[in-house]
Amino acid sequence: MFDHPSYDRHEGVHFFEDEESGLRAIIAVHSTARGPAAGGCRMWHYETGEQAFRDALRLSQGMSFKNAMAGLPLGGGKAVIWGNSKTDKSEALFEAFGRAVESLNGAYYTAEDVGVDTHDMAMVARQTRYVAGLDSGEAASGDPSPITALGVYRGIKACAARAFGSDDLSGRTIAVQGVGSVGGYLCDHLAKEGAKLFVCDVDEDALDDVCKRTGATMIKTDDIYDVDADIFSPNALGAVISKATLPRLKAKVVAGGANNQLASPDMDAALKESGILYAPDYVINGGGIINVAAEISGAYSRNWVMGKLNILIETLGEVLDEALSNGQPTNFVAERIARARIAAAKAGETSD
């Protein structure tokens, strides 16, 4: 583990297997310097255990950066369940996962992510109190995806203002990769402003629904990179900006809700060299964890969430402006700020 390229001095990586329910899960805790680690639980049919391990490491690191950039009193963690979310779900499996979360004694708070929904989290909550994103309870706020999508929409406008001289998206062509929870809500915002949408998703029902209600044009999943778009918005899984896909992009902006969009760290500089403005994913997609943080506090306040979201978009603007001013890749600037905030927390200082 210590030699793995995605290992970043994680505080703990925990492997769980429950033979009776079939649970195979990894909970990675990257940092608790700013508070308990928080991050969603992803259920995915990985080809290998190494892929699941790599995902847990990268996603938990991203959550540390995301929570730091959002100014939240939370560290970074992530859980992955190795399984098919269409066929392998059961009450026993999610209750076993709840016991796994409980065994960490509050070091990690979970919530929904790809392949997991509020109904699943309700089953997890039978076995642990360290869960958010619930539909019921004293501070329950439900699915955080709408807040994530709102933040991504506002972040896209912030990028457009800098790339095109105006944040007006009417008439802009936007290629949206993934129209699930976040991507679907995002398309609603973009269509309402008059953007021309080209969309793709492996879920044909979700794709058809979004096209019907927004007027978007349906594109094959692999053809989305070739759309003559102003903005490319990844909202599915990560590692979509690679040496193979970057030359196909015609967009001037890459901004979306997916985590870990860059296949490798050097793609940040490659985007800059290609003249593409990139919104660091762990900054632009922080709306959902802000919503979760309000729930974890035990006193959910919509006004607090919206206030934090406003600050987050301001922070994204500052990252973009500093990067453009200094000629640096945007991810480089954002990571420097995030790591400084985490280091300050470890030293008992405040940097945000």
Q: Of 78, 89, 196, 272, which residue is the catalytic one? A: 78
Partnered with residue 15 across adjacent β-strands are 26
Distance CA 330, CA 207 (A): 31
Distance CA 49, CA 81 (A): 10
Q: What three-state secondary structure class fits 160?
A: helix
Q: For 77, phi and psi rounded to 5 degrees?
A: -150, 165
The tokens for 339 are 């790591």
| Number of residues that this document lists for the chain | 352
Exposed, middle or buried, 102 (CB in 10 Å: 0-12/13-18/19+)?
Answer: middle
Q: What is the per-residue burial (b if ≥16 Cβ within 10 Å, else e) of 195-234?
A: bbbbbbbeeeebbeebbeebebeebeeeebbebebbbbbb
Q: Is 66 a catalytic residue?
A: no
**What amino acid is encoded at 258 in this protein?**
A
Partnered with residue 29 across adjacent β-strands are 12, 77
Half-sphere exposure of 307 (CA within 13 A, CB side): 9
The tokens for 40 are 């969603």
Q: What angle do CA 41, 42, 43 make, to 5 degrees?
A: 125
Distance CA 280, CA 260 (A): 9
Active site residues: 78
